[in-house]
Structure 1
Amino acid sequence: MKKLVLIFLIFVSAATQAQNPTLFEEANEAYTNDDFDTAIAKYEEILENGKTSVATYYNLGNAHYKLNNVAPSIYYYEKALQLDPTDEDVQNNIEFARSMTIDDIPVIEETGFEKRINQFLSTFSYNTWAYFSIALSVIFAVLFIFYYFSRKPLIKRALFGFAIFIFLLGGISVFFAFHQQEIQFNNQFAIIFTEEAAIKNEPSQRADTAFNLHEGTKAKVLEDYQGWVKLELSNGTQGWTENNNLKRL
């Protein structure tokens, strides 16, 4: 009798889930049916519920791209890359979105050892580096246990040497995780969301306009001051704009 009740409950649960698809599935279905506004609303509801993922940000970027919403599409692609810098689909699509922007700002490339280090660190997010360090810590603990209980001197030396090597790798992974986290949190970026944003020489409406930026342009946030934000472009140019002209990543 209990087995029959259990089978019935499982069947009811499965039927309920089939009749009530998840919000993500509903958003995907709306996107497939070219109902991009509905898809955007449902993806945003997922984010409001605190459920962030590369797929959600990526699909949101795609939906906005289909509607030619330049700034939001770039913004959500950038959010996806923050979670997974190695995602090739996101990397490809953000280039398409960037081609829709008006501003063509050259990038000053890093050179030398610092460039190679930053490129290597950016291969993974700080969360991934942290997972590496945890996995290496577990491997180290297992190797130490085998070393402790081993009775053969040759095996003990081999296990000890390998354990020390894994320990050092774990320490390096921890360092990389903290360093990548520091880069991400100290280097704050924003996307221009207004059609055109005046960039001033000083944080004042009376200040001269140095130049204008347009929607979708990415800039580094340097400073906040009474509703104004100091930005730095990829070519090193700096200026002030009102906070409501942008959305921070």
Structure 2
Amino acid sequence: MKKLIPLICFFSFYFGMAQNAALFNRATEQYNSGEYSKAIESYERILENGEHSAELYFNLGNCHYKLNAIGPSIYYYEKALLLKPNDGEILNNLSYAQNMRLDAVEEMPKTEIAKAYESLVNFLSFDQWAYLAVSLIILFVLAYLTYFFLRYATHKRIAFITSVFSLILGVVSVLLAYLQYRDFKNDNPAIVFSKEVKVTSEPNTNSEAVFTLHEGTKVNVLESFNDWNKIRIADGQTGWMLGNNLKALKDF
């Protein structure tokens, strides 16, 4: 009986993958036929099955964009971007969706050093940096072992230099993976899903409204109190809003 358990798990996993692939193909056909709502249902069934990917979120963003659903389209493009940072196609479609927003929030100016740091750290996701680090460490080990087996001085020098550079780049990749993961954990982005919401100075309905936000605006959740979230927008303004007006991006 024990031997059957791995087989059952394997076939269940294989069946789930096949089912999700069939759903994805069906959703793509529905999208190409202009049946965007049906395509959304098919893509969401894949999410319910426990699978998610940048491609899946990107396609969901496209479906909602075609239906002029500002909040959901931006939400799914942003989720796709979390899994594939700096992807040109995702960034392009996201910018189109952002142009549909009512809020034009200007980001706080950044120094050139801060921009360079963000560009470098966010060039890959933290798991991609980690995979790169592992590959470089393996290359270091192979090059270092090869160094001892080569006979000619020139070949030994090349192997030694390759091992040293692989080790250095591997350590740098580990550091960048850590920095990217730290920034990822400290950042708690969300998208406004309500058509219009008042942001107040305190977490209660009697406090003064400091500014108003509309559907599709991206905020960063700083803290929570009961049903309220303290948020900050790109220009640095902060305030409180009820949590049911927001949808967190990192709810994978």
Q: TM-score, normalised by structure 1?
A: 0.88
User: Partner residue of 1:141?
Assistant: 141
User: Partner residue of 1:8?
Assistant: none
Count residues with an aligned counterpart.
231
**What are the ranges of 5 or more consecutive residues in structure 2 without an aligned counterpart?**
1-17
Residue identity matched to 2:48: E
User: Partner residue of 1:7?
Assistant: none
User: Partner residue of 1:168?
Assistant: 168
User: Partner residue of 2:102?
Assistant: 102
Residue identity matched to 2:208: D
User: Partner residue of 1:209?
Assistant: 209
Residue identity matched to 1:207: S
1:173-224 Cα deviation digits (max 9, x unpaired): 0110111111112111000001111101011111111111100000111111
User: Partner residue of 2:219?
Assistant: 219
1:154 offset after TM fit, Å?
5.1
1:6-64 Cα deviation digits (max 9, x unpaired): xxxxxxxxxxx8xx970000111111111111100111111121211111111100100
1:151 offset after TM fit, Å?
4.2
**What are the ranges of 5 or more consecutive residues in structure 1 without an aligned counterpart?**
1-16
User: Partner residue of 1:188?
Assistant: 188
After TM superposition, the runs of 4+ consecutive aligned structure 1 residues lying more than 2 A away are: 148-162
Q: How is 1:1-249 mapped onto 2 (pairs within 5 angstroms)?
A: 22-153=22-153, 155-249=155-249
Q: Name the stretch that deviates more: 54-63 or 158-167.
A: 158-167
Residue identity matched to 1:115: K
Give the secondary structure class of the aligned counterpart of 2:34.
Answer: coil
1:161 offset after TM fit, Å?
3.1
1:84 offset after TM fit, Å?
0.7
Residue identity matched to 2:181: Q
Larger radius of gyration: 1
CA–CA separation in structure 1 for the residues paired with 2:185 and 2:41: 28
Q: TM-score, normalised by structure 2?
A: 0.87
1:168 offset after TM fit, Å?
0.9
1:128 offset after TM fit, Å?
1.6
CA–CA separation in structure 1 for the residues paired with 2:30 and 2:186: 37
Give the secondary structure class of the aligned counterpart of 1:120.
Answer: helix
Residue identity matched to 2:192: I
CA RMSD of aligned residues (A): 1.6
CA–CA separation in structure 1 for the residues paired with 2:158 and 2:62: 52
